[in-house]
Structure 1
Amino acid sequence: MSLQKDREELRQILKAKSVKTGKFTLASGQESDLYVDCRVTTLDARGAVLVGRVLHDLLRQEEAKRGLSIGSLGGLTMGADPITLAVAMSSSLAGDPTPVQAFVVRKEPKGHGRGKRIEGNFITEQPVVVVDDVITTGGSTLKAIEAIEAEGGKVAFALILVDRSEGGRAAIEDKGYPVVAAFTRADLV
């Protein structure tokens, strides 16, 4: 199947399962006429496959454009978790010579053991990509970036499934991190 067909099928799944209109209070406290629950799509068997393929392609395109070699990707739990794993699996299944590895950023450091904030295959020797399911204000993405950099990671760019087009991209880019989004509000509404 072509990537264009994968992207269109993913867009249709997002529209059917994840996009809701009405009156909603978002995590940021803002009110909105649009709610996007990407987990319903990213935790769907077919949705996860498509998320992996589409975002793996975007990651590799951006990596090539910037002349980088990305070692790992991850973001703030829980929205980023299924996306991160889907992209890493797609990287392996695509036969990438060095598949991109996955990690998870905890909201708070673990309260026992080694007290880690980042779990998994976090590679600090190469640039990393921060992942998020949806950006509105950019707050959760920036929180993940802060944690990644505190642990020695160098964030190359943010890879986002849905940009709600409500200022989050600008907030992230104003801090010096390019944003690559698979879909925007206009694509889904």
Structure 2
Amino acid sequence: MPEFPHTDPISNLYKLLKEKSFFTGDFTLASGKKSNYYIDCRLTTLDPEGACLVGAAIRKTIIGKCEELGTSVQSIGGLTLGADPIALSASMASYQAEDSKILKPFVVRKAAKEHGKGKQIEGGFQKGDSVVALDDVITTGGSTLKAIEAIENEGGKVEFVLVLVDRQEGGKEIIEEAGYKVFSLFTRDALFETNEKETSQN
């Protein structure tokens, strides 16, 4: 996985996310709510270039936030499916970076398995880990809180939440009210701002 030494992975990820994952128009969301835009981060996180950029950007942000908060983390992950490629990409980036500790990826199932060991969390997570809870998009905050509940039930400590895009529909505030710090790489307003600038220049 390349480290993009001469460029900013967050800026490049922003451009790719705009190109592949951000759409304007008339959409009906899974909740039944109408929206004038749609974000499908998986078109970026499951893209080869996108995966490299996501890994570098998330790793860089986690390192910065840990330094800022005076903490450290051992593992990263969130509720399947949106968080899965993000956690894996960031873990791979941490493995290939000589100056960074390895971030172990994990997946939170929507429900515990009814067979085998009956686990809800799969992967590198261990009881006692300090964790960054990941997600691709925050809307209501419900999926993130569900992941946090599973992590804490398994003995993990969530240091903070990190997402690619905050849709700015109240989800961030709901998670913060529950007692967790929330950070996003991008916001809905930032994505729309570029669209408006491009329209005015054409």
Q: TM-score when scaled to structure 2?
A: 0.89
Which stretches of structure 1, 4 residues or more, deviate above 4 A after TM superposition? none
Alignment partners' CA distance in 1, 2:6 and 2:170? 28
Instruction: List runs of 5+ in structure 2 lacking aligned partners.
Output: 193-202
Q: Which residue of 1 aligns with 2:97?
A: 94
Residue 169 (1) aligns with residue 195 (2): no
Contact 2:56 / 2:90 at 8 angstroms: preserved in 1?
A: yes
Q: Which residue of 2 aligns with 1:111?
A: 114
Q: After the TM superposition, which of the residue ranges 144-153 and 1-10 deviates more from structure 2?
A: 1-10
Residue 57 (1) aligns with residue 57 (2): no
Which structure has the greater CA radius of gyration? Answer: 2
Instruction: List runs of 5+ in structure 1 lacking aligned partners.
Output: none
Structure-2 change in CA distance of 1:124 and 1:98 (3 Å):
farther
How high is the sequence identity, in percent, across the aligned residues? 53
Alignment partners' CA distance in 1, 2:28 and 2:175? 22
Residue 40 (1) aligns with residue 46 (2): no
* Aligned residues: CA RMSD: 1.5
Q: Which residue of 2 aligns with 1:19?
A: 22
Larger RCO: 1 or 2 (CA < 8 Å, sep 6+): 1
Alignment partners' CA distance in 2, 1:3 and 1:105? 35
Structure-2 change in CA distance of 1:3 and 1:52 (3 Å):
farther
Query: Aligned to 1:160, which of 145, 158, 163?
Result: 163
Q: Which residue of 2 aligns with 1:182?
A: 185
What count of residue pairs does the alignment treat as equivalent?
A: 189
